[in-house]
Amino acid sequence: MLYLVGLGLGDVTDITVKGLEVVRKADHVYLEAYTSILCSTNGDHSSLERFYGRQVKVADRETVETSADRILDEAVNGDVALLVVGDPFGATTHTDFVLRAVQRNIPYNVIHNTSILNAVGCCGLQLYTFGETVSIPFWTETWKPDSFFDKIINNLKNNFHTLCLLDIKVKEKSIEALMKGKEVYEEPRFMTVDIAAKQLLQVIENRVAEQSILTAHNLVVGLARIGSDSQKIKCCSLQDMSCTDIGKPLHCLVIPGKLHPLEEEMLAIFK
């Protein structure tokens, strides 16, 4: 059996009772460690091992993308638990695991948990008025994609809120390392709300002639470490968010659409 086990967002204890039972009896346990991290662990999985009382193998990006079949091989004659921060279907990577398992006639079971896609409601915005979720990537000097901006504008035109997931870089090779074929990795990086706001302001400046729906004065919401004891929520203008520090990762950014009076009242708490 292949088990996909959601871990929740904040702490090692956020795993469900059902999920914990699976982890403790499985023959092999892997932690998917590149789409997200548990806020309390800061990328260190040793606290998971202590809590579970067993070894947890880290499945980084290379393992998930190039060695998925090896993990599935172990699920042919034993139980494999793949641990996922948030909910197992918060990323398409895990859908691919299920499809591969089905192709090989390997049974699978999913243990769901909280993800940022529903926990974002803690800021007071109603979940059913969110539109398409977008991802904002880190820009470089030569690579500045902005296709996410079109989706934000489309949401705003339809009076929908937009959840912006912010880029993380874990076990990424530098361009130099890729060119030279070296196994050298950059330090982990996690986009913060101020960086995301700065990039959005740059896109607005570039597109000022074609749109006026999103401006530097629009209200936005920054969220940090949702689900943890140090959770932080800040509501301010996009311009002010570009110089706001809400602490350690993980961060996400919400761009509200049309607000209901109750939503306005809730957001006022975080101004």
**SS3 category, 82:** strand
Picking from 154, 162, 159, 163, the residue whose alpha carbon sits closest to that of residue 260 is 159
Give the amino acid at 5: V
- Residue 250 assigned to a binding site: no
- Residue 251 assigned to a binding site: yes
Give the amino acid at 25: K
Residue with tokens 């079971």: 109
- Residue 11 assigned to a binding site: no
Residues whose CB falls within 8 Å of the CB of residue 200, separated by 6 or more in sequence, listed in order: 136, 149, 214, 238
Strands in 219-224's sheet, in edge-to-edge order, are: 134-136, 162-166, 251-255, 219-224, 232-237
Q: How far apart are CA 79 and CA 27, in angstroms?
A: 5
- Residue 116 assigned to a binding site: yes
- Residue 217 assigned to a binding site: no
- Residue 112 assigned to a binding site: no
Q: Which two tokens stand for residue 258?
A: 């049309």
Q: How far apart are CA 150 and CA 29, in angstroms?
A: 40
- Residue 87 assigned to a binding site: yes
Q: How far apart are CA 132 and CA 138, in angstroms?
A: 20
Which residues are annotated as part of the binding site for S-adenosyl-L-methionine?
A: 9, 87, 90, 115-116, 166, 251
Annotated binding-site ranges: 9, 87, 90, 115-116, 166, 251
